[in-house]
Chains A and B, each alone.
Chain A
């Protein structure tokens, strides 16, 4: 009697072992699958990819102008920043087709001649609640463009614009790295990155609630 019970016990434990093995296998499969979904598939789904209307060559232009970035991306007299150039600034040279590039022909035919502004995608566009002063950083803070914008000035072609489908923000705000790790100052441009630099540079940390930077410095 006792022996048969023991045998049964043995059998049941054996069956249990087999089920446990499957459970571990399914767990691992599930883990791998969800990691792939989370780290590879989700970011791909999250961001839509858009090409700029014209493939602008920064490298070529920066060799032709005298004042570097500020030749086209300048400050207005009231201290506001002009941002991405309007047709008005291009038209001086581009009234007629220059060179052989296909984009150049499209640019002149479709935008310059009808006087239509190019609908550029702005990589560094901040949310609406943010007030960012270029002049405070460049003139008062003495920073260069590369610190935040990277080496876009030396590129010969514009990268693909990636837009977050949920928030509508550019991927440059969160950064390429989905886990949020950054190696360069220009990898990410979230609020934490702004405040990190503000602390380093000794901008007044005048908030009563947090003892950190006040909200009404960058927010509006």
Chain B
């Protein structure tokens, strides 16, 4: 088989926090696309599953300096060093894995036995445990996405960067005798749902993709970069306090360390 279609990709995301209005469309789109289970009562947040979650940050100051920022958090698909992301390194079941071909951290539900080491290892709270079997309101099981397998009780799940969409995009490309897919052929559900256009998705290795330039923005940062997780989700904010909050900077640190 020729190696051409196997050029290493590194799918990633750039989220412009100045554009995010915190509307939550990305969360809704993600849940619908990926058959994420929910319960009648979602008030217990230890029990709810949100592959994509919007957090609210505040600068802790009072009026007139009070400011807040919404921060959507998918799985960061950490590359770590040579693909040794925190969760992949600890998984004893080989249920989660890092692929050098796409840079996506996979989670195989039928392989996972629910030890939750990965959840402990993940510094982003991007992983969720199924404490219960999913129960869909009557009739809703008919509208589940057939391209995403549903999960069962006792296993961990997380954002997959809508990997099934990559699979489908590749099928179409093969049908049309192409080896490579276009940027627009593979986009995550949250990217497409964002009404503000805050999320940009693409191959970080490909200079033709928008994310390649966006991640070089001087205001771009990643969450908890100092841990060395090497995440593939970048954030952009023109506000310094947001950029500092992204890496848990202490009050006495700051400007000198992060320019």
Contacts and interface: CB of A to CB of B under 8 A. Distances in A.
B125 interface: no
A133 to B, nearest CB: 5
Chain B, interface size category, equals 35 or more
A102 interface: no
Interface string B76-100: 0000001110001001001011111
Contacts of A214: 97-102, 106
Contacts of B168: 78-80
Contact of A79 (B98, B110, B171): B171
Interface stretch (A82-90, A134-142, A157-165): A134-142
Interface string A182-220: 000000000000000000011110111110001111011
A220 B167 contact: yes
A79 B97 contact: no
A129 B109 contact: yes
A206 B101 CA distance: 6
B171 A207 contact: no
Nearest to B79: A208
B29 interface: no
A109 B94 CA distance: 52
B58 interface: no
A139 B177 contact: yes
Interface residues of A, number: 30
Interface string B131-160: 000000000000000011110000000001
Interface in B173-222: 173-177, 179
A207 B170 contact: no
A140 B6 CA distance: 12
B117 interface: no
Nearest to B160: A216
A135 B168 CA distance: 10
A219 B160 CA distance: 11
A128 interface: yes
Contacts of B160: 216
Interface in A112-154: 127-129, 131, 133, 135-136, 139-141
Contacts of A80: 168, 171
Nearest to A141: B1
Contacts of A209: 88, 91, 94, 96-98
A136 B5 CA distance: 11
B174 A128 contact: no
A1 B191 CA distance: 100
B180 to A, nearest CB: 12
Contact of B174 (A127, A135, A215): A135
Nearest to B150: A128
Nearest to B166: A216
B53 interface: no
Contacts of A133: 167, 170-171, 174
10 contacts: A77-B175, A78-B171, A129-B109, A131-B147, A131-B167, A136-B170, A214-B101, A216-B160, A219-B106, A220-B163
Given A79-B171, A204-B101, 7 more contacts: A131-B164, A214-B97, A215-B99, A216-B97, A216-B160, A217-B99, A220-B163
